[in-house]
Chain A
Amino acid sequence: MCLAVPGEVVRWLQREVPFSEAEVRFGGILRKVNMLCVPEATVGEYVIVHAGIAISKIDAQAAAELLSQVSEMELDEWRRGAAE
């Protein structure tokens, strides 16, 4: 149960709880998202949004680390193998 989508915080609209919200961009659209659970998110950071509320910030470093579990080197080697 879990369709949560990453979006970029574009602009804070208000900070007062429980109505704190920010404008978040998903691909090419904007939606107002409740930020009560992620008050520390800043403009330019990414949050993950479910049912209209942000439930977490996205840690760019951790994202990069996960991707690196399949290294570029390994990928190159695999591509070479696939081409043969």
Chain B
Amino acid sequence: MNQDHQGLQCPMSTVSSAGVVDLAIGEGAKASRLFLDTFIHNRFKNQTLQRRDDAAMLNCEALELAFTTDSFVVEPYFFPGGDIGKLAVCGTVNDLCMVDAEPKWLSLGLILEEGFPLGDLSRILDSVEHWCRKAKVDVVCGDTKVVPKGKVDGIFINTSGIGRRVKTNVSSDSIVKENDVVLVSGPIGCHGMSVMAARNPGLVETDIESDCGLLLPLVQTLRNQDVPVKAMRDATRGGVAAVLHEWARQFDVSISVDEACVPVRADVRGLTELLGLDPLFVANEGTMVVVVDSIFATAAVEAMRSVSIGVGATRIGKVHAGRRNPVTVVRGLGKEIPLLEPTGAPLPRIC
């Protein structure tokens, strides 16, 4: 049996016999190399990564490069409709799509808790590989660290992504203004409620699925159908409400939404009613909000509906000139009521 210079047994055999992540994996020595060979290089077989250089050299001809980063700490790391690996790819790839860039390359940074099951890690990395393939991106660099038990919740992932802007559908004078129409690509609140149910197994019985997925097909179809998009954003933490507030600030407008038009699935509805939550504040991971000129609203909805992730696309609101209340919702009696900016995680209530 091989021994490293500190006189310990071959860590790989220790790791594989125990079936869990060992501190040695993150130490940069033989155990790291063996771990990387088995878990990373066996999956991500692009030439750039296979070179095992300290940095990836990327070749591209582009008008502009888009660069983004995101970290993923979701708990539990497996949930109906996805897992932390799928999230890590889709989340970052979606951010690149939202600026109309073609996603090309990802970095994959892992922080693992000592004792993390290797079986779970394999599943998560399989998911990363699967979704990279679907998104047509390569993992070209990465890092793995292992921290002592209790210092991290199982697994944290960071992905940074680079995309290139080849052709854009966003015109140079696309300012969001009065009378523009706000659309959503599908039913809202699925991811947040899916994770909440998964995190609290006794709370309800449900298989609410996260909407976690790639928005790329939606962006591509809008581009291919020549629908000019003025603004688009994926509605992650803070939900649709957060996006609308960001836009109201960015473009100095106000936005109103009709509650009756906002699509919510029956199971998500049931859980939000039970807990006294508003779906407009709940996180999504595969749903985007789009602003178009009113003359393109119908075309935009039809284009999105032609793609499977967009079958539920629909109009939800309208842009107005700037007012004291940046975002409002039409409910109840048909009057506009302010929708305040989300300030923290929504807490379930019984009152």
* Interface of A: prevailing SS: strand
- The size class of the interface chain B forms with chain A is 10 to 19
Contact (A30, B276) CB under 8 Å given A2-B351, A3-B351, A50-B350: no
Given contacts A27-B266, A29-B267, A50-B350, contact A5 B205 (CB under 8 A): no
Beyond A3-B276, A3-B351, A5-B274, whether A27 also contacts B205 by CB under 8 A is no
B77 → A minimal CB distance (Å): 22
Chain B neighbourhood of A1, CB < 8 A: 350-351
**B351 engages A29 (CB within 8 Å):** no
Q: Are A26 and B350 in contact (CB under 8 A)?
A: no
- Residues in A whose Cβ lies below 8 Å from that of B268: 28
Q: Is B206 in contact with chain A by the CB < 8 A criterion?
A: yes
How many Å lie between the Cα of A26 and that of B193 in the bound state? 14
Choose among B197, B267, B350, B351 the residue that contacts A27 (Cβ–Cβ < 8 A): B267
Asked if A29 contacts B204 (CB within 8 A), the reply is yes
Whether B208 is near chain A, meaning CB under 8 Å from some CB there, is yes
Interface size class of A (residues with CB under 8 A): 10 to 19
Asked if B266 and A30 sit within 8 Å, CB to CB, the answer is no
A3-B276, A5-B273, A5-B274 known; A28 vs B267 contact (CB < 8 Å): yes
Query: Across the interface, do A27 and B269 meet the contact criterion of CB distance under 8 Å?
Result: yes
The minimal Cβ–Cβ distance linking B351 to chain A, given in whole angstroms, is 5
Q: Which residues in B have their C-beta under 8 angstroms from that of A28?
A: 206, 208, 265-270
Closest residue of chain B to A25 (Cβ to Cβ) is B270
Say yes or no for A17: interface residue by CB 8 A criterion: no
Task: Report if A15 contacts B (CB, 8 A).
Answer: no
B134 within 8 A of A: no
Taking CB atoms, residues of chain A closer than 8 Å to B266 are 27-28
In this complex, which of B197, B273, B274 has the most chain A Cβ atoms within 10 angstroms of its Cβ?
B274
A31 and B350 contact, Cβ closer than 8 Å, known pairs A5-B273, A26-B271: no
Checking B274, B276, B349, B350 against A29 with a beta-carbon cut-off of 8 angstroms, the contacting residue is B274
- Chain A 5-31: CB-based contact to B (< 8 A → 1; otherwise 0): 100000000000000000101111111
Contact present for A27 and B204 (CB under 8 Å): no
- Is A51 close to B, CB under 8 A? yes
Question: Bound complex: CA of A1 vs CA of B274, how far in Å?
Answer: 14
Partner of A3, one of B203, B208, B271, B350: B350
CB distance from B348 to the nearest CB of A (A): 9
Q: Compute how far the CA of A5 lies from the CA of B274 in the bound complex, rounded to whole angstroms.
A: 6
Which residues of the other chain, B, contact A23 by a CB distance below 8 angstroms?
A: 205
Report chain B residues within 8 Å CB of A51: 350
* Bound: A83/B121 CA distance, A: 61
Tell me the complex Cα distance, A23–B203, Å: 12
Q: Mark B44-74, 1 if CB is under 8 A from A, else 0.
A: 0000000000000000000000000000000
Given known A-B contacts A3-B276, A5-B273, A26-B271, A31 and B203 have beta carbons under 8 A apart: yes
Q: What residues of chain B have their CB less than 8 Å away from a CB belonging to chain A? A: 197, 203-206, 208, 265-271, 273-274, 276, 349-351
A-B contact pairs, 11 of them (CB 8 A): A1-B350, A1-B351, A3-B276, A23-B205, A26-B271, A28-B265, A28-B266, A28-B267, A28-B270, A29-B267, A50-B350
Chain A residues within CB distance 8 Å of chain B? 1-3, 5, 23, 25-32, 49-51
> With A27-B270, A27-B271, A50-B350 given, can you name 16 additional A-B contacts, CB distance below 8 Å?
A3-B349, A5-B273, A5-B274, A23-B205, A25-B270, A26-B270, A26-B271, A27-B273, A28-B208, A28-B265, A28-B270, A29-B197, A29-B270, A29-B274, A30-B204, A31-B205
The 8 closest A-B pairs by CB, nearest first: A27-B270, A28-B267, A28-B266, A26-B270, A29-B206, A30-B205, A29-B270, A31-B204
